[in-house]
Amino acid sequence: MAHLKELTLENLVATITESTNTITTYLKKNNIQGPSLHEDSPVSLPPVPEVLGARFKLLEAIDAMQNLVSGTAYHNSADLLFRVHDTSILDVLNQFDFYSAIPLGGSATVPEIAKKVNLPEKLVRHVLNYAVHMYYFAETAPDSGVFVHTSNSAFFARNPGASDWCTHAIAQTGPFSLHVAESYRKYSAGKEEPSQEVIESAASIADLDRTGHPVTFWDYLEHSEEGKPKGYRAALFARAMGFISDALAPSGNLEVWDDFEWGSLRDGSVIVDVGGSRGHDMLKIAQKFPQHKYIVEDRPSVEEAFNAAIPAEWRSNISFRAHDFFSPQPVQADLYYLRWILHDWPDKEAKQILQNLIPALKPGALIVIKERVKTPATDGKGNYVLPRAVRRQIALNDAQMHTAFNVFERSVDQWRELVLNADPRFEILSMDGKGAQVNKGIVKIVWRG
């Protein structure tokens, strides 16, 4: 990393110019439309090696540039501190569905929008006046009162799943963040090690429903919410997981079936997706490999979301089973798939989840864990292995998981320790952090019992 003194306006602008040239040259050469803020813009740059390196450099330089140009004083007294309003305005745009109030390819006036979102015109103006500064919607001319979509708002208008993810990120889990310091103070301050109790996490002590005692995130999802149908929170979370499983990692996206040799399993293999939510991964894999039988296990409250997500013609291949993974696994399968499950739990519970598979395991049964696998941050010679934009995403994931569950994403060594502590008959076949595709790490295990 450049020494802090080298992060100057001149140096940064040189990086920005050089990296931008690399990207635009590639786009021109391959006749690919470049991104803009117009609603018809492509939603990402091509995730190819020729572009990725320059893109990462650019992201890093722009971040630093923004900080320098804002100036430390403004950055720390207004700009950064009040980003909370970016979040609340995004929440309003989403909850009041401003995205459908303006037609794609068209425009709408403030009174027209106000009618659709059912808010006073004064508030609509306030929300849009703020939103345009984040490039959500644009006014056709200064003070015209007529608004059109930008690439950002159009993304929400075109992807209904993005709304669920936004609700999950802001309304469902955002309020937990204000309890992080309280959790540190109560349970970790003055100790050698941070708390590893789920019930002491910021999410648990937030007790947003005012029950009078700490509530785990999973139990919070089971509570009903005023003005919402029964099971609303669990169904919303399941849909949000479905959306984010398809969303792009900073370096593009591997398809869900690319991580494992599904075709190498004998035909008719039984695959259990432990904590598989509404079955989004199994549906995609089954569509590629219909020769297998897929069982999605999750909490009973998720079944409705599963029923809504899996088309009738796939029901003979993919079924739902209500199962608590803190009880012994009854289904004898060829492969158990756990995607983004163990990272929700500190070691004590994660070990228990793995041990609960044992009663059903036959020798040679496979366990595929798809999680972030943190690889060493540096090459041992003082250089970072991953670009800053990717390290930022890892830090962000850590913050999200720690807020909700008092757990950090695991490193290669931590995965090894967890799996082998659960039972030495688990043999790790391979572990792969997938480089910059941080959300696609994989641990492959075989049962040698």
Catalytic positions, please? 343
Give the binding range for ligand SAM (CB under 6 A) out of 52-60, 156-164, 273-281, 429-437.
273-281
Across-strand partners of 294? 271, 318
For the bound state, the minimum distance from the C-beta of residue 244 to ligand SAM, rounded and expressed in Å, comes to 7
Check binding of 255 to ligand SAM (CB under 6 A): no
Q: Which of 147, 325, 408, 426 binds ligand SAM (CB under 6 A)?
A: 325
> Which one-letter DSSP state was computed for residue 249?
B
Give the binding range for ligand SAM (CB under 6 A) out of 50-58, 321-329, 413-421, 432-440.
321-329
Across-strand partners of 322? 298
List the structure tokens of 37: 């803020």
CA distance 214 to 199: 6
Give the binding range for ligand SAM (CB under 6 A) out of 49-57, 196-204, 257-265, 317-325.
317-325
Question: What stretches of 60-185 adopt beta strand conformation (E)?
Answer: 108-109, 138-139, 146-148
Check binding of 303 to ligand SAM (CB under 6 A): no
Instruction: Please identify, using beta-carbon distances, which residue of 245 and 393 lies nearer to ligand SAM.
Output: 245
Check binding of 276 to ligand SAM (CB under 6 A): yes
Angle of CA points 165, 258, 362, to nearest 5°: 100
Q: Which of 126, 299, 321, 388 binds ligand SAM (CB under 6 A)?
A: 299
CA distance 48 to 57: 15
How far the first Cα of the chain sits from its last, in Å, is 47
Annotate each residue in 363-382 with x if it binds ligand SAM (CB under 6 A) or - if it does not, as one string. Answer: --------------------
Q: How many Å is the Cα radius of gyration of the chain?
A: 24
CB contact at 8 A, 268 and 448: no
> Which one-letter DSSP state was computed for residue 167?
I
Taking CA atoms, 406 is separated from 176, 197, 352, 409, in Å, by: 12, 6, 17, 10
Instruction: Please identify, using beta-carbon distances, which residue of 218 and 232 lies nearer to ligand SAM.
Output: 218
Check binding of 259 to ligand SAM (CB under 6 A): no
Give the binding range for ligand SAM (CB under 6 A) out of 138-146, 179-187, 195-203, 294-302.
294-302
CB contact at 8 A, 331 and 272: yes
Check binding of 344 to ligand SAM (CB under 6 A): yes
Q: Which of 55, 339, 351, 410 binds ligand SAM (CB under 6 A)?
A: 339
**Site for ligand SAM (CB under 6 A): how many residues?**
17
Tell me which residue has tokens 């003055």.
Answer: 190
Instruction: Please identify, using beta-carbon distances, which residue of 55 and 343 lies nearer to ligand SAM.
Output: 343
Per CB under 6 A, residues contacting ligand SAM are: 218, 241, 245, 275-277, 298-299, 302, 323-326, 339-341, 344
